[in-house]
Amino acid sequence: MSGALTLHEDRLFPSDPTQRAIARRLYAEVRALPIVSPHGHTDPRWFADDEPFPDPATLLIIPDHYVYRMLYGQGIPLEALGVPRADGAPVESDGRKIWRLFVQHWHLFRGTPTRLWFTHELHEVFGVREALTPDTADRIYDQLADCLARPEFRPRALFERFNIEVLATTESPLDPLPHHQKLRASGWKGRIITTYRPDPVVDPDFEGFAANVEKLGALTGEDSSSWAGYLRALENRRGYFARLGATATDHGHPTAATFDLPRHDCEQLFALARAGVSTPEEREMFRGQMLTEMARMSVEDGLVMQLHPGALRNHNPLVMAGFGRDKGADIPTRTDYVHALRPLLDRFGNERRLSLILFTLDESSYARELATLAGHYPALKLGPPWWFHDSPEGMRRFRESTTETAGFYNTAGFNDDTRAFPSIPARHDVARRMDCSFLARLVAEHRLEEDEAREVAVDLAYRLAKRAYKL
* Statement to judge: residues 47 and 57 lie in one domain: no
**Are 103 and 198 in the same domain?**
no
Among the candidates 133, 151, 169, a domain finishes at 151
Q: Look at residue 173 in the predicted model and tell me its pLDDT.
A: 98
Regions of the chain where pLDDT drops below 70: 1-2
Spatial CA neighbour of 33 closest among 451, 465, 411: 465
Do 286 and 411 belong to one domain?
yes
> 264 and 238 share a domain?
yes
* Contact partners, residue 394, CB within 8 Å, separation at least 6: 363, 385, 388
Query: What's the CATH number where 193 sits?
Result: 3.20.20.140
Does residue 276 share a domain with residue 185? yes
Amino acid at position 381, single letter = K
Residues 258 and 305 in one domain: yes
| pLDDT tens column, 87-128 | 999 999 999 999 999 999 999 999 999 999 999 999 999 999
Q: What whole-number distance in Å separates Cα of residue 410 and Cα of residue 133?
A: 44
3 found inside a domain: no
- Among 151, 174, 199, the domain-final residue is 151
According to the model, what pLDDT value does residue 328 have?
Answer: 87
**Which pLDDT value is given to residue 165?**
98
- Are both 120 and 141 inside the same structural domain? yes
CATH number at residue 62: 1.10.2020.10
pLDDT of residue 2: 58
Based on the domain organization, do 453 and 416 belong to the same domain?
yes
Question: Is residue 12 included in any domain, yes or no?
Answer: no
Q: What are phi and psi of 4, to 5 degrees?
A: -105, 145
Structural domains counted in the chain: 2
Question: Domain check: are 268 and 130 in the same one?
Answer: no
Distance, in Å, from the CA atom of 287 to the CA atom of 255, rounded to the nearest integer, reads 9
Residue 350, Cβ neighbours under 10 Å: how many?
12
Judge if 125 and 190 occupy the same domain: no
Amino acid at 421: F
140 with 196, same domain: the answer is no
Last residue within a domain, chosen from 151, 174, 192: 151
Q: How many residues does the chain have?
A: 471
**Pair 92, 21 in one domain:** no
Contacts 24+ apart (CB under 8 A), 258-265: 258/288, 258/289, 258/291, 258/292, 258/340, 258/341, 258/342, 258/343, 258/344, 258/345, 259/285, 259/288, 259/289, 259/292, 259/343, 260/289, 260/292, 260/343, 260/344, 260/346, 260/347, 261/285, 261/289, 263/227
**Structural domain for 284, as ranges:** 17-51+154-468
